[in-house]
Amino acid sequence: MRQKRQVVTTLALLMVVSAACSDEPTPGEQEGTPERITLLGHDSFIQTATAAGAFDAFTQQTGVEVALVAGGDAGTMVNQAVLTKDNPIADVMFGIDDTFLSRAVDEGVFLPYESPLSSMIPDELVTSDRVVPIDYGDVCINYDKGWFEENDVEVPADLDAFRDEAYGRLLTVEHPATSSPGLAFLIATIDAYGEDGWKEYWADLRQAGVNVVSDWDTAYFGDFTRYGGDSPLVVSYASSPPAEVILAEEPLETAPTAVLEDGCYRQVEYAGILAGTEWPVTGGQLIDYMLSVEFQETIPLNWFVFPVNEDATLPDEFVEHTVIPSNPSRLPAEEIAENRERWIDEWISIMEG
């Protein structure tokens, strides 16, 4: 990420973008200004944002308070947004990623919007005119270094190792229908083994005793041996090891966890204005604030992912302890859209049938 330039960011007049339907409000149309706007996000984002006062500066700049609503894991949140699209429970949604994005777009959940700060975002992260990239990170298998050392067990070398019961029973993964890292990991295995091999791979994992849970919080803070669970391997993020160092109660020189680079998937998180909101202009302003250098530079140490604004500077401790996978998987959104439901259904048939 290049060195931060001296940029003066203003909440500029928002671009008027045509909506998909003639009666659909656009980000350029709004009567008055609200006292409050509601942001729907996944649990881990909302919890940290609340504790950190992440939107206090937005309120100071605009006079609009931001009410934060937790929607569960990303998959659950998207399901909720689709079911309530005719009477949305929020004005803006954040935390949808490219594995679930096509479903929300196809269901008409979002208004079209292009931020005046979009030029700061790398082109390869932009996939739809309905949402704006806010951050990105890599979903990877994490392992508890202490457990492997204490039990004198060799760390698995690659994804194939989990076909064997000796490693398969040590791994916890998230359900792809309800968890975005779970779906990301499933897609990584599809990319690795192809349509002819991924189902056999997951059948082998089931036979080897892999553990499946509903969401990331349960996997990491419930089943991971690092937090008292029984699984020394868990699907998490490449940035989880630096999070362990930065958030440790006692200072740590090195991370107690590490990442397997085989089977990583690059995940981009987006924000979008929910169709049906009375406040599309203010919703656009909130997204612009989330793209500003001011907010983007809070992302690494609060949520342990990378900011998309190329003018944002990464903190030294984040750079020092972060492992960036050399070749993470990432499939085109169109391919995911075409196959996602089938992949999930086939996975369920294999793992729960």
Strands 132-144 and 36-41, by their bridges, are unpaired
Token pair of 27, please? 């980000």
Q: Which of 110, 114, 117, 115 is nearest to 92 (CA)?
A: 110
Q: Write down the pTM of the prediction.
A: 0.77
pLDDT given for residue 9 in this prediction: 31
pLDDT given for residue 28 in this prediction: 65
What value does the mean pLDDT take over residues 164-171? 98
Residue 121 and residue 308 in contact, taking contact as beta carbons nearer than 8 Å? yes
In a 3-state reduction of DSSP, which class is residue 160? Answer: helix
In a 3-state reduction of DSSP, which class is residue 39? Answer: strand
Calculate the CA 201 to chain-centre distance.
25
Using CA atoms of 222, 223, 228, 231 in order, give the dihedral in degrees to the nearest 10.
-170
Over the chain, what is the mean pLDDT?
A: 89
Residue 307 and residue 298 in contact, taking contact as beta carbons nearer than 8 Å? no
Identify the burial level of 68 via C-beta atoms within 10 angstroms of its C-beta, where 0-12 means exposed, 13-18 middle and 19 or more buried.
middle
Token pair of 263, please? 């089977």
What value does the mean pLDDT take over residues 140-167? 97
Q: Which of 279, 271, 292, 270 is nearest to 12 (CA)?
A: 292
Model confidence over 173-222: pLDDT tens digits? 999 998 888 999 999 999 999 999 999 999 999 999 999 999 999 999 99
- Residue found under tokens 């989990």: 162
Q: What percent of the chain has pLDDT over 90?
A: 72
Q: Which of 115, 74, 116, 109 is nearest to 91 (CA)?
A: 109
pLDDT given for residue 27 in this prediction: 67
* H/E run at residue 147: helix 145-150
Tell me: pLDDT of 19 over 60: no
What value does the mean pLDDT take over residues 118-145? 94
Quick one: DSSP state of residue 126?
A: -
Tell me: pLDDT of 22 over 70: no
Which domains, from first to last, does the chain contain?
Answer: 36-136+268-319 (3.40.190.10), 138-266+327-352 (3.40.190.10)
pLDDT given for residue 12 in this prediction: 31
What value does the mean pLDDT take over residues 18-46? 75
pLDDT given for residue 57 in this prediction: 97
Q: Which of 306, 299, 295, 288 is nearest to 57 (CA)?
A: 295
pLDDT given for residue 311 in this prediction: 96
